[in-house]
Amino acid sequence: MVAAASVVVAVGTASGMIHALDEERGSDEARPDVTYSPRLESLPVVPPPSPSVTESPSPTRTKRKPEAPASPSPSPSPSRTERERHTAAVSTRLYRHSASQVLDWVRDNPGDPRHGVIQSRIAAHPAAVWFADFTPDTITARVRAVTSGGAAQGRVPVVVAYAIPDRDCGGASQGGAPDLGAYDDWIDRFAAGLGSGDVIVVLEPDSVAQADCLSGAGRADRFASLARAGRVLKAANPRARVYYDAGHSGWHAPGKQAGWLKQAGAASAASSDGIFSNVSNFHTTADEVAYDRQVLDALGGPASLGAVVDTSRNGNGAPADGEWCDPAGRKVGRAPTLSTGEARIDGYLWIKLPGESDGCKGTPGTFSPSYAYDLASP
């Protein structure tokens, strides 16, 4: 891309599902906790994961030329009182699921000289769990395996629903449901696995920002299905926080993105808790925070709407040449947390797992230890 977007490479149901952990040093029943701060710290070795289901790897993303740069100036935000009302009863402890490609690698390669860096700076951190394959018969149980694991530890899982038809506009991450009717049914089944505890749902990366490849009628149909999806998810679990696709700061102008988001239901508290940005991308946290606030201002809706930013690979920002496929010189970004200290920014999350290839350092969606080591090395 020249300034890029996101788009997943769904590699079936390989063992690349992602994980999760927490923000405070200590220990839980199965995994060591980590102190979450902008500086990554060395952590104890992760014990072998407990048996669990396996999900799809985090996909790679394509890039799209930006239409207008986002202003670096943050936009006005709602009062702290409004935001505190929205988040006061919500846990800030993120959950790391025990099944992922990086945890498999850490367990199977204790003698590798890269082991310590990859374990402490990637594997020990929480990340999202992707559901990128269209398997209606098993989706409820698989989602429930993740959300029940988070509930048992009193922590917040992050799950990614990624099965919208025509995803990636037929590109490297093509796939998903065969049509919107089938997708609606898949979402119903996905929602049935959310349980009753706190959970963050990243709803369909690229589904809004990349909608310009669809016809006008196709866009309208997709947006109606996304609005329905948000309502279904929140009705199934009122404690679920659902975030919609805002692309990233190098893609669409905030006003255009907000207009599409509104059509997709992102401005309604019945279907949305806000927006997400920078999934599988590299733009700096500061740029994303400023951009997300502009999108939220243009979107309107209740003051409780916020944003989450994917900080998994943005430690050095985006490459100047716009390269998006496993670009050299990138680093992991801020550690995952739901306590950002930033108005209207609900969390910094690792949605794309660092070390899972975009397709240049390895097969798309598979874990590359050499790439992970480069990203994690100080």
Indicate which residues carry an active-site annotation. Answer: 168, 206, 358
Helix, strand, coil % over all residues of the chain, rounded to 5: 30, 10, 60
**Alpha carbon distances (Å) from 89 to 83, 152, 188:** 11, 17, 26
Compute the Cα dihedral for 28, 46, 44, 328 and give only its sign: negative
Burial of 208 (0-12, 13-18, 19+ CB in 10 A): buried
- From CA 378, how far away is CA 376, in angstroms rounded? 6
User: Closest Cα partner for 123 from 139, 141, 105, 108?
Assistant: 105
Sheet holding 158-161, edge to edge: 129-131, 158-161, 199-203, 240-245, 274-277, 306-310, 345-349
Cα separation of 237 and 248, whole Å?
28
CA Rg, the chain, in Å? 18
Q: 254-263 vs 216-236: helix axis angle to the nearest 10?
A: 70
